Amino acid sequence: MLIPCPYCGPRDVSEFTYQGDANRTRPDPLSTDREVWDGYVYDRLNTAGDHREYWQHSGGCRSHLLVVRSTLTHAIVSAGFARDAATKPKKTRRKAGARP
């Protein structure tokens, strides 16, 4: 399996570290909604087909990548920097310890 790192080009999978399912969104750190956190930590889509997932090119440029890969054939559909796909934190977010 070759992963096309957007910085280094196609490299063998042994250079990369799998960082798991990218279909989950980390809840707001201030959220105390137990169900939302339980779902984030434990529940997975477990897609059979094109799967969004994070990899790190730990044996190369160390970039964090967002890869779309078929779990049925291992064919890579796309690979980009994870930062490009990241959602920006909301501006209304409070600082830890701040009063509401």
Partner 1 sequence: MAEYSALALLKNALTGNRDWKPAWCKPEPKPEYDVVVVGGGGHGLATAYYLAREHGITNIAVVEKGWLGSGNVGRNTTIVRSNYMLPANVRFYEHSMKLWENLSHELNYNVMFSQRGILNLAHTPSQADDFIRRGNAMLHDGADAVWLTPAEIAKKVRGLDVSAKARFPIVGGLFQPRAGTARHDAVAWGYARGADRLGVDILENCEVTGFLRDGDRVTGVATVRGEIRAKKVAIAVAGSTGRVMRLAGIDRLPIESHVLQAFVSESLKPFIDTVVTFGAGHLYVSQSDKGGLVFGGDIDGYNSYAQRGNLPVVEEVMSEMASLFPGLAPVRLLRSWGGIMDMSMDGSPIITTGPLPGMFLNSGWCYGGFKATPASGWCFAWTIAKDAPHPLNAAFTLDRFHRGAVIDEKGQGATPRLH
Give Cβ neighbours of residue 47 (< 8 Å, ≥ 6 apart).
23, 71
3-state secondary structure of 82: helix
C-beta of 82: minimal distance to partner 1 in Å? Answer: 16
Based on CB atoms, which residue is closest to partner 1, 35 or 84? 35
Based on CB atoms, which residue is closest to partner 1, 48 or 98? 48
Measured CA to CA, the distance from residue 3 to residue 11 in angstroms comes to: 5
Based on CB atoms, which residue is closest to partner 1, 44 or 94? 44
**Phi, psi torsion values for 44, nearest 5 degrees:** -130, 150
Whole-Å CA distances, 66 to 22, 33, 34, 96 = 8, 27, 27, 29
Which residues, 4 to 63, sit near partner 1 by CB under 8 A? Answer: 12-14, 18, 20-21, 34-35, 38-39, 41-48, 51, 53
C-beta of 92: minimal distance to partner 1 in Å? Answer: 28
Which residues, 62 to 91, sit near partner 1 by CB under 8 A? Answer: 69, 71-74
